[in-house]
Amino acid sequence: RNAVGVPCVHLAREEIPRRIGEAQRLLIFSGESIKSIAASCGYSNLQYFYTAFRRQSGCTPAEFKSRYL
């Protein structure tokens, strides 16, 4: 549980989609690298970012970016 008494798993269910949504927006509209975008969205571990992105989006960040560019 966090400081306000909400189980961390509930926060993760909300936070991960929000972070990945922001990453998707940055992939489409910014010229930043995938590594930079991952850090901007709060992922210090690039491998975990790729895993979370693929689970949420069904593709890698590079695949997602190539679809929209």
**14, amino acid identity:** E
Tell me the pTM: 0.83
Name which of 23, 19, 18 is nearest 63 in CA terms: 23
The 3-state DSSP class for residue 61 equals: helix
DSSP state of 35: H
Dist. CA 19–CA 30, nearest whole Å = 15
- Per-residue confidence (pLDDT) for residue 36, from 0 to 100: 98
pLDDT, averaged in runs of 10, over the chain (69 residues) = 60 87 98 97 97 97 94
